[in-house]
Amino acid sequence: MFLINCPFCGERDQSEFSSGGEAHIVRPKQPTELSDDEWAEYLFMRKNIKGIQFERWNHVHGCRKWFNVVRDTSNDKILSVYKMGEKPPVNYK
């Protein structure tokens, strides 16, 4: 059970949050100009990495804010949290 450091509320139990999958997948600005394959790439394709992964989480039973998390999926350690719109920390790749 993770202990997640919400950038707005501080450390809270995982049960207060919901996961929103991979982070930094930007919705295409002009979807109509994409081919089926390009759109499918945005819509369906996710990395599902073993190791350091950038994820979106929502403090759904708290401040309702979405934010980003850097998590090592091999040991579930959360390495960093940062707000939406902020650049991911450079020391994780």
Partner 1 sequence: MPNYRINKTEYIDETKRVSFKYDGKTYFGYEGDTLASALLANGIHLVGRSFKYHRPRGIVSCGAEEPNAICQIGSKKDLTEPNVRATELELYEGLEASSQNCWPNVKFDIGGINNFISPLIPAGFYYKTFMWPKSFWKKVYEPLIRLSAGLGKSPTEPDPDIYDHKHVHYDVLVIGGGVSGIIAAKMAAKNNLKTLLVDDKKILGGSTIYQNNENIKIDDKLSSEWLKNEIQEIKKLSNLTIKTRTSIAAYHGYNFLLAKENLTDHLPEEKKKNKIRQRLWKIRAKKVVISTGSIERPLVFNNNDRPGILLSNSINKYLDYYGVTCGENIILFTNNDSAYETSISLHKKGIKNLIIDLRKSASSELIKQAESLGIKIYFNHVVTNTFGYRKINSLEIMKLSEDGNTTVGDKIKLSCDCLGMSGGWTPMVHMHTQSGGKLDFRDDDQVFLPKENSEDQISVGSCNGDFDLENIIDKTVNKINKFLYINNQDYKDTKIICSKENDKRNIWLLPNKIPLGKTKCFIDFQNDSTAKDIKLALKEGFRSIEHVKRYTTTGMATDQGKLSNMHALGIIADTAGVKMGSLGTTTFRPPFTPLTFGTLVGRNVGKFFEVVRKTSMHEWHVENNAEFENVGQWKRPWYYPKNGENMHDAVQRESKAARDSAGILDASTLGKIDIQGTDASEFLNRVYTNAWSKLAIGKCRYGLMLNEDGMVYDDGVTTRISENHYLMTTTTGGASNVLSKLEDYLQTEWPELDVYLTSVTDHYSTASICGPNSKKILNKLFPNLDLSDENFPHMSFKEDKLKNINCRIMRISFTGELSYEINIESKYGHSLWKMCLEAGKEFNLTPYGTETMHLLRAEKGFIIVGQDTDGTMTPSDLQMDWIVSKKKYDFIGKRSLYRSDTIREDRKQLVGLLTDDPKEILEEGAQIVSDVKSKPIDMLGHVTSSYFSPNLNKSIALAVVRSGKTMKGQKLIIPMENKNINVTVSDTIFLDKENKRLNA
Q: Which is nearer to partner 1, 58 or 92 (CB)?
A: 58
Residue 10 sits in the site that holds partner 1 (CB under 8 A): no
Residue 45 sits in the site that holds partner 1 (CB under 8 A): no
Check residue 35 and report its DSSP letter.
-
Question: From the list 10, 32, 90, 91, which residue makes contact with partner 1 (rule: CB under 8 A)?
Answer: 32
Give the DSSP per-residue string, 44-88. T-----SSEEEEEEE-TTTT--EEEEEEETTTTEEEEEEETTSPP
Closest CA to 19 of 66, 82, 62, 63: 66
Check residue 23 and report its DSSP letter.
S
Question: From the list 62, 65, 80, 89, which residue makes contact with partner 1 (rule: CB under 8 A)?
Answer: 65
Binding residues vs partner 1 (CB under 8 A): 1-3, 18, 20, 26-28, 30-32, 34, 36, 39-40, 43, 56, 58, 60, 64-66, 75-76, 84-85
